[in-house]
Amino acid sequence: MRVTEANPRPLGDELTTRIYLLLLRMPNPRRAALLHEGFTESEVASALASLQRRGMVDASRREVIEVFPPDATLPAYAAELDRQARATRSAIDGLAHMYYEARSGESGVRTSPEVSLLDTVDEIESAFFRAGARAESRIVRLIARSERMDRVVIRHAESILADRPTTTPRNLERLVVFEQSILEVEGAFSALETMRADGIDVRLTPHLAFSVLAVDRSVAVIDISHLEPGGGGSLYVQQRQLASALMDMCIGLYALSTPLPRTPSGPALRRLTERDGQILALLAAGASDLTIARQLTISQRTVERRVRMIMDELGATTRFQAGTNAVRRGFL
């Protein structure tokens, strides 16, 4: 069915689902066939990148699309979503208690000694600093995408964990989970590598419902400014049970997330350069050719050519196999 005015253009997961259903019905899936259905090139590229990250298709070639059997791919994807849902549900009671406690008491009272409502972005950033300054053993950050946080990642990579104090405790464990789509932001891969070089464990996940900073099971900040640009409704939590529950949720999502692939640092591949190593790392992170080109400031055609060479060098016929072979040989 062609996309017409009577059938408004789908967005996000709806777009991806519609294109996936079309691909399943095509005996020989082609990008041109999707364009013929009325989708734009950017819509097709976005949906295919999402499907490839989920392991449902291989869209690495220019025109031909390989669609994997849904009875093999969908159970694994559903299991991953279920694990994320369980981690989020485990925090519901604590978050609900926090919400109602913050609103209890006399009319007009908006704070308590243990839970404070934050009304502005400035208050959120101040809360991040106060919480980070208390860190002694572990600080975990989940970062939902927003224009403000994208700018923070690029400009202040080393302070992304909530304006941490200048003197970092020697044994402080720092963990951060980003939405995978952060790789679509120009310069993000370099910024994330800088953070990792600074000792931060960086991971990627498909989606985050909100941002959280959790510190030592004693204090936490919930940031919903990606939903409400003004920041209203965010929370600063000093109630230990709630802060501990939020830490458990963050650790659970961290465990389910994918480590940021490293640029190969082992023995050099015979024909590949350091730039090829960066391409391979981004490839392993599920980035599309367009995203890789944007991150490394090279042309998409150059990326396509180098990806083919990398796959030849690794003896791989698909991008997934290239990543597997690279891990097996100790390059990632």
Confidence of residue 10 (pLDDT cuts 50, 70, 90): very low
Domains of the chain: 12-68 (1.10.10), 85-259 (3.30.870.10), 274-328 (1.10.10.10)
Q: Picking from 38-52, 53-67, 98-112, which range would have the lowest pLDDT averaged per residue?
A: 98-112
Whether residue 220 is predicted with pLDDT greater than 90 in this model: the reply is: yes
Better-predicted residue by pLDDT, 8 or 153: 153
Work out the average pLDDT over 112-135: 86
Cβ pair 21, 47 in contact under 8 A? no
Better-predicted residue by pLDDT, 2 or 87: 87
Report residue 238 as tokens: 């000093």
Q: Tell me the whole-structure pTM to 2 decimals.
A: 0.58
Neighbouring C-alpha atoms within 13 Å toward the C-beta of 195: 31
Work out the average pLDDT over 141-153: 84
Amino acid (one-letter) located at 88: T
Residue 159 three-state SS: helix
Report residue 159 as tokens: 């302070």
Spatial strand order of the sheet with 234-237 comes to 115-118, 234-237, 219-223, 211-215, 138-143, 173-179, 201-205, 258-259
| Distance from the first to the final alpha carbon of the chain | 42
Work out the average pLDDT over 22-50: 90
Work out the average pLDDT over 302-309: 86
Paired strand residues for 213 = 141, 221
* Angstrom distance (rounded) from CA 162 to CA 213: 7
Cβ pair 193, 285 in contact under 8 A? no
* Angstrom distance (rounded) from CA 35 to CA 140: 43
Better-predicted residue by pLDDT, 37 or 81: 37
Q: Picking from 101-115, 154-168, 273-287, which range would have the lowest pLDDT averaged per residue?
A: 154-168
The tens digit of pLDDT for each residue in 65-79 reads 999 998 888 888 888
Say how far residue 311 (Cα) sits from the centre of its chain: 25
H-assigned helices in the chain: 12-25, 31-36, 41-53, 70-89, 92-102, 121-133, 147-155, 188-197, 240-256, 274-284, 289-296, 300-314, 319-328
Q: Picking from 94-98, 133-137, 229-233, 272-276, which range would have the lowest pLDDT averaged per residue?
A: 94-98
Q: Picking from 21-25, 125-129, 160-164, which range would have the lowest pLDDT averaged per residue?
A: 160-164
Say how far residue 215 (Cα) sits from the centre of its chain: 21
Paired strand residues for 202 = 176
Whether residue 247 is predicted with pLDDT greater than 90 in this model: the reply is: yes
* Angstrom distance (rounded) from CA 160 to CA 248: 21
* pLDDT score of 32: 92
Confidence of residue 102 (pLDDT cuts 50, 70, 90): low
Report residue 266 as tokens: 């082992």
* pLDDT score of 181: 86
The tens digit of pLDDT for each residue in 156-209 reads 554 544 444 445 566 889 999 998 888 888 888 888 888 888 888 999 888 898
Confidence of residue 8 (pLDDT cuts 50, 70, 90): very low
Confidence of residue 108 (pLDDT cuts 50, 70, 90): very low
Which residues 6+ apart lie within 8 Å of 149 measured at CB?
A: 143, 211, 226
Better-predicted residue by pLDDT, 299 or 162: 299
* pLDDT score of 270: 60
Residue with tokens 């093999």: 72
* pLDDT score of 330: 65
* pLDDT score of 267: 55
Confidence of residue 331 (pLDDT cuts 50, 70, 90): low
Q: Other C-beta atoms within 10 Å of 71: how many?
A: 7
